[in-house]
Every structure is written in C-alpha cells, then in structure tokens.
C-alpha cells in the first residue's frame, strides 16, 4: 500500500496520513511567470497550490486508481507526485493532475489566479486566439529519423 507525506490539509486527507503542502500565494498573479521544463513547473505548483507526495505506490494497481479517485471526488484536486514506485529505481517519478486545479491551470497559462473559473476560461480563450504560430523548420536529419521500420 502506498504511503503519503507532506504539510496541513485544506480539503482533508484523501488517504489516511496524507497532508497537503503549498497554497502560500493567495490571490497570486502568474502573468509573466515562465518555466522552461516540467521540473520547474512542478516546483512552482508546489509553491502555490495543494499537492501530495505518495511514496511506494504500485504502478499496476494503485497509481491509476488514486489519480482517478482524486480527480473524481475532490473539487480542485491536488497535484499528485508519486515517488519510490514499486519495481522502479529511485528517482523514477510520476506526476498527475498537473493542471486539474484552477490555480495550476492559471499558472500553466500565465493568467491571474484570483479570477473566477469563467473569467479564466475567457482569458485563456483570448490568449489562444491571439497566439502566433511558430513556423515549422524542415531538417534533413534528426532524432525522429533514428528508428526506421524496414519490414513487418
């Protein structure tokens, strides 16, 4: 059975012994906040919103069930970070529900976190409509060309 760790729960424990961390920046605005990789984004999510660290979960039975139950049963669910997964070396982790809360979705899109859900949807739609596409660059070689299926 997986065990969970962390700080004080705002919404109550999903699992016995689970506590949340984060939620330090009430009314934060994420406009202009940038991140270049998933680790940085996860770190920022941990600073601004609820999250759970679950250690020792089984990849085959527990991770999917915990993610689905959390997403279905908790309004604005916490980010779930699974570590010490059974059958995998230390450091192989799984993160889920990264943008399942209003605050983390605002962070991902660079929007103010203090807006209502409807206003966030409107701001996100405007941002998507105003986005300029990045033109493709054709190259002769690259990592995508390294694996070639020659025959069935």
3 state SS for 63-107: HHHHHHHHHHHCCCCCEEEEECCCCCCCCCCEEECCCCCHHHHHH
Q: Return the pLDDT at 82.
A: 96
Q: How much is the pLDDT for 129?
A: 94
- Could you report the average pLDDT of every consecutive run of 10 residues in the chain (152 residues)? 46 33 50 82 90 94 95 94 93 94 90 89 94 90 79 72
Instruction: Report pTM.
Output: 0.69
Kindly list the domain boundaries of the chain, sorted by start residue.
3-13+28-120
Q: What is the pLDDT of residue 4?
A: 57
């Amino acid at each position: 059975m997986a065990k969970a760790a962390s700080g004080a729960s705002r919404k109550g424990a999903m699992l016995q012994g689970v506590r949340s961390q984060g939620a330090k920046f009430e009314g934060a605005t994420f406009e202009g906040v940038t991140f270049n990789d998933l680790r940085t984004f996860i770190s920022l999510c941990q600073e601004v919103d609820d999250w759970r660290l679950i250690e020792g979960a089984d990849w085959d039975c527990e991770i999917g069930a915990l993610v689905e139950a959390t997403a279905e049963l908790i309004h604005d669910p916490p980010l779930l970070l699974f570590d010490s997964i059974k059958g995998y070396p230390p450091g192989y982790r799984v993160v889920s529900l990264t943008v399942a809360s209003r605050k983390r979705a605002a962070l991902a899109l660079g929007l103010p976190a203090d807006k209502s859900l409807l206003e966030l949807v409107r701001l996100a739609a405007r941002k998507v409509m105003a986005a300029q596409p990045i033109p493709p660059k054709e190259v002769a070689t690259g990592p995508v060309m390294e694996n070639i299926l020659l025959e069935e």
